[in-house]
Amino acid sequence: MSVTSGASKRTTRWDDAARARERVLLDTMAAEPKDSPAYSRARDELVTIHLPLVEHLARRFRDRGEPHDDLVQVGTIGLIKAVDRFDPDRGVEFSTYATPTIVGEIKRHFRDRGWSIRVPRRLQEMRQHISQATAELSQKSGRSPTVAELAEALDLSEEEILEGLESAQAYSTLSIDSSGGGDDDSDPSSLTETLGSEDDALEGVEYRESLKPLLAALSERERQIIMMRFFQNMTQAQIAKEVGVSQMHVSRLLTKALLELRSGLTEDAF
């Protein structure tokens, strides 16, 4: 981002101040132990001051059928990763480093949502409306809305809502474009943590040894959601709240992950 015109001098000065603050925070993170309050305060502030960057990047993806709030949420996850991984010694600006991570996370969200598959615009918009209305109605009533409630709120027929819901899933299109490969968002510590509790959770499953590598091949978020739903018996609504994504997104990730597991698992279930 080069700034040349005179009108943006003030911006440049502000940037200088922000950059200086950023430097202080990065130095604090480098100097303090990771479990110290000073470290987490610096980390939080770094995240907070770069939220406008996430907003800005998320806006680049508007009109693609995903709610802006969802994009900001996943973009923020990218920002947090960037904060945690940034190495000041490499000599690049933090924003330069963070941008591809944030954009990557947003793109991954689209990939997760299966937008690589062409969906008619009408259905894309309907999904988006359903997702928004679901969030709003859940907020109001404290539970997931019914199809009738959604139909009334959106002035659509129940049939149209059902069609929208089915299209929001990826039942028939999965595993074709799913990379299946590991994901870059599993930092080693959280992976070990997850795998440890997975061992306990999978205790009763006969084919857990063949299940484990399949679970490991899922993205961190999918694995987390699978464990929460199937082994900790959390509801989709609870998971949505815990993970910070919409319930429809949880539903879709669950379906997608389950299909991947199913196609990979050669258990003899009978």
Partner 1 sequence: MRIELPAASGYLVLARTAVAAMCARLDYPLDRLEDVKLAVDEACSLLLSDTDADGTLSVAMAPGEDGQLNVAVSAVTRHGKTPKQSSFAWTVLSALVEDVSASVDAGQVSITLSASRGDSVVVS
> Where do contacts with partner 1 occur on this chain (CB under 8 A)?
134, 138-139, 142-148, 150, 158-159, 161-162, 165-166, 171-172, 204-208, 211, 229-231, 233, 235-238, 240-241, 247-248, 251, 254-255, 258, 261-262, 265, 267-270
What's the chain's length in residues? Answer: 270
Q: Measured from the CB atom, is 30 or 176 closer to partner 1?
A: 176
Q: Measured from the CB atom, is 22 or 112 closer to partner 1?
A: 112
For residue 202, the minimal CB distance to partner 1 (Å) is: 9
Whether 115 contacts 55, CB under 8 Å: no
Q: What is residue 181's three-state secondary structure?
A: coil
Q: Cα(247)–Cα(235) distance, rounded to whole angstroms?
A: 10
Residues 202-224: b if buried by 16+ CB within 10 A, e if exposed: beeeeeeeebeebbebbbbbbbb
- CA 52, 222, 113 angle in degrees (round to 5)? 65
For residue 93, the minimal CB distance to partner 1 (Å) is: 38
- CA 170, 174, 178 angle in degrees (round to 5)? 125
Q: Measured from the CB atom, is 30 or 162 closer to partner 1?
A: 162
Q: Cα(62)–Cα(96) distance, rounded to whole angstroms?
A: 22
For residue 62, the minimal CB distance to partner 1 (Å) is: 25
Q: Measured from the CB atom, is 46 or 202 closer to partner 1?
A: 202
For residue 219, the minimal CB distance to partner 1 (Å) is: 19
Q: Measured from the CB atom, is 103 or 147 closer to partner 1?
A: 147
For residue 159, the minimal CB distance to partner 1 (Å) is: 8
